[in-house]
Amino acid sequence: MTEWLISIEGTETGHSVALGLAIMAAFLHAVFGALQKGRHDPWLTRGAVDISYGTMALPFALFVVPWPEPHMWPIFAVVFLIHMGYKILQAWAYSKGAYTVVYPVVRGTGPLFAVIGAYFLFSETFTAVQWLGVGVLLSGIFGLAVYNLRYLETERDTLKMALGLAVLTGLFVAAYTTYDAYGIRATADPFTFLAWFFLIDGLGMPPIAYLRWRRMTDRPDIGPLMLRGLAGGLVAPLSFGAIMLATRLDKVGEAAVLRETSTVFAAIIGWLVLKETVGPRRIALMALIALGAVIVEMGG
């Protein structure tokens, strides 16, 4: 598998595989976001998820993939810090706003900064049509933010804070997207990066979640929480792993934008599973975000 992936890097086949991986990552990330926002406190859920996928990654990192090259350890350290910032901001945003409010802004703000980061880090450029797609995507994002500010009736007291945190989280999404792409390209075997990434990344949030759980007066049962964590621990490596592989095979900016079709999946999940009120206007604005991503792909 490793040899085949390396052989298709930068080819038309690699582009097609990267496209499929980005769409898969979009759907799975919407599922992952709903798992974190759902039944339990988002901080606790994230801790349960991280300890699950960190434990799963341990045997692969130690016994299956090649050992990381020495130059990879500083890269892993920076990756860990960026992802910790992202996860803290994401949990904080979910604790202040509804899933269908926070998620589209986070996932939509990220690509703009990821495209800019890919330009400086990888010298990637977009065509005029692709920049039009980015503009369409951003119009959906900011339209959604304005709509939420004007019409959302619940969580009004924390809405502005939730939107601000969502934008900050989007900045960290861009940071980890571009730097993860740098990291997975810096090692000979991409699966070495993935295995060690999930092992190291799984270390940060569980202690924070445990301390939060200890301070709660009404503590949730560990069993159902860990069951949700196990589900997230299965979904997260597939979602994040897919987008990381896509950024190795093809352009980072395009993969980052295409992943944001997850907003459409998020709207459906928020409505059907979390029973949140979405409404036709918000669905249309989320669809506009996805349309922008499609234009970016077609204009490449």
Residue 123 three-state SS: coil
- pLDDT per residue rounded down to tens, the chain (300 residues): 788 888 888 888 988 898 889 888 888 888 877 776 656 777 888 899 999 999 999 999 999 999 999 999 999 999 999 999 998 998 888 788 776 677 777 877 777 778 888 888 888 888 888 889 888 887 887 787 777 667 765 556 777 788 889 889 989 988 998 999 999 999 999 999 999 999 999 999 999 999 999 988 888 888 888 988 898 899 988 988 999 999 999 888 888 878 777 777 777 777 777 676 667 777 788 778 778 877 887 776
User: Could you tell me the pTM of the whole model?
Assistant: 0.83
Q: Which amino acid is present at 72?
A: M
The rounded distance, in Å, linking the Cα atoms of 49 and 191 is: 20
DSSP code at position 63:
I
Of 79, 187, 74, 177, nearest to 124 by C-alpha is: 177
Burial 126-150 (b: 16+ CB within 10 A, else e): beeebeebbebbbebbebbbebbee
Helices (H) and strands (E) in the chain, counts: 13, 0
Burial 18-42 (b: 16+ CB within 10 A, else e): bbebbbbbbbbbbbbbbbbbbebbb
